[in-house]
Amino acid sequence: MSATENARVVIIGSGPSGWTAALYTARANLEPIIYEGLQPGGQLMITTEVENFPGFPEGVQGPQLMQLFKEQATRFGTRVRSETVTGVDFSKRPFRVESEGGVVLADAVIISTGATARYLGLPGEKAFYNKGISACATCDGFFFRGKEVIVIGGGDSAVEEANFLTRFCSKVTMIHRRDELRASKIMAQRALDNEKIEIRWNTVVTGYHGDANGAIRAVDLENIETGATEELPTQGVFMGIGHKPNTEIFVGKLEMDEAGYLITKPDCSYTSVEGVFACGDVQDTVYRQAITAAGSGCMAAIDVERWLEAQGH
Ligand code: NAP
């Protein structure tokens, strides 16, 4: 039979926000339990060099950065569960958090399950991760200085990434499956006005080609109106087709927007259920950076500490 135990704080998800929430709650003597989840360390584990995390002037490898986050949080007594949470009950307190290993009854819960960038899912795609395919221009754009790249998608993320990439790249080609951008008018106009950006309308990417080193050298395109195909040389492919927040187990239990992001109250980490807090990309559709996630993890930890104190815990 699986065990039931008690915790003052359970943290679900172990990216920058989760580990920061763990660090702060551990240092507040709340002895948090953190569930590492399906992808321990979160999105930075599939990144190579991180050059924009303050404190690392020479840059740091994503997995190494997450290992440092973990070491710092565990140093103060964070209890780590290398498991995935399979179910929660937030209808009464203490909250129930279930995993394969058992059940934890928690006075407060911090959700930091993150979001996952969407990829096209074409055959062989994964082999090009960090070898030309990226889902974060802010993180990786710098590595494409002077190169020609493509951005897939037509929403705010895609036009923002395309505009950002023109600072480094000699040319940015947006590949959009329709004849109209989904992005907000003002952001779309910026892309349309940018002379370094070309937009291929009604076009989809159907395949990738690598060079002798396994890095991207070209993509196959298909115009879905005319059926015309071509091989377009490119050195970088940026996915701008959206993110999927990891919130399946919270459906019907916490307020979400139509895309599934958890809704937090303005300027804090409170969710729609008192005692349940959220931080990081699972509630952030705007910034999505490791440093902003870490900052919001700190906010959630402080919110929890104060809330527990107000409850008399
Ligand atoms: P999004 O609005 O869902 O746009 C995704 C884009 O990718 C759409 O153009 C979509 O095409 C395309 N797409 C989706 N799946 C595809 C596939 N399999 N193949 C080809 N194209 C595909 O996602 P987002 O741009 O990440 O934005 C998400 C939310 O964050 C939005 O509310 C957005 O306003 C917000 N956001 C705001 C800012 C900002 O204010 N600075 C920046 C970024 C994001 P269709 O158009 O045909 O559906």
* Tens of each residue's pLDDT in the chain, 313 residues: 467 999 999 999 999 999 999 999 999 999 999 999 988 998 888 667 788 899 999 999 989 999 999 999 999 999 999 999 999 999 999 999 999 999 999 999 999 999 998 999 999 999 999 899 999 888 899 999 999 999 999 998 899 999 999 999 999 999 999 999 999 999 999 999 999 999 999 999 999 999 999 999 999 999 999 999 999 999 999 999 988 999 999 999 999 999 999 999 999 999 999 999 999 999 998 898 999 999 999 999 999 999 999 998 7
Same domain, 109 and 247: yes
Please name the helix (run of DSSP H) or strand (run of DSSP E) that holds residue 63, with its range, or none.
Answer: helix 62-75
Measuring from atom 21 of ligand 1, which residue has the nearest CA? Answer: 153
CA-based nearest residue to 44, from 53, 54, 55: 53
Domains identified in the chain, total number: 2
Examine the fold and report which residue of 218, 239, 260 is the final residue of a domain before the chain moves on. Answer: 239
Same domain, 201 and 256: no
Same domain, 74 and 93: yes
Same domain, 89 and 142: no
Predicted TM-score (pTM) of this structure: 0.80
Backbone region of residue 208 per phi and psi (left: phi > 0; alpha: psi in -120 to 50; beta: other values)? beta
Pocket test for ligand 1, best of 116, 136, 156, 164 (most atoms within 8 A of CB): 156
Q: SS3 for 95?
A: strand
Measuring from atom 30 of ligand 1, which residue has the nearest CA? Answer: 285
**φ, ψ for residue 309 (rounded to 5)?**
-60, -45
- Distance separating alpha carbons of residues 258 and 250, to the nearest angstrom: 13
Same domain, 195 and 247: no
- Give the HSE-up count for residue 183: Cα atoms under 13 Å, Cβ half-sphere: 25
Same domain, 90 and 25: yes
For residue 103, give the CATH number of its domain: 3.50.50.60
Examine the fold and report which residue of 178, 205, 239 is the final residue of a domain before the chain moves on. Answer: 239
Q: Exposed, middle or buried: residue 6 (CB in 10 Å: 0-12, 13-18, 19+)?
A: exposed
**For residue 76, how far is its CA from the centre of ligand 1 (angstroms)?**
40
Measuring from atom 18 of ligand 1, which residue has the nearest CA? Answer: 120
Residues annotated as catalytic are: 136, 139-140
CA-based nearest residue to 158, from 187, 196, 133, 125: 187
Same domain, 20 and 97: yes
Specify the DSSP class assigned to residue 235: S
The DSSP-derived string for 110-137 is: EE---EEE-----TTGGGGBTTTEES-H
- Distance separating alpha carbons of residues 85 and 100, to the nearest angstrom: 8
Same domain, 37 and 110: yes
Same domain, 225 and 257: no
> In which domain, by residue range, is 281 found?
4-116+243-310
Same domain, 42 and 95: yes
Examine the fold and report which residue of 217, 239, 261 is the final residue of a domain before the chain moves on. Answer: 239
Please name the helix (run of DSSP H) or strand (run of DSSP E) that holds residue 161, with its range, or none.
Answer: helix 156-165
Q: SS3 for 151?
A: strand
Same domain, 27 and 82: yes
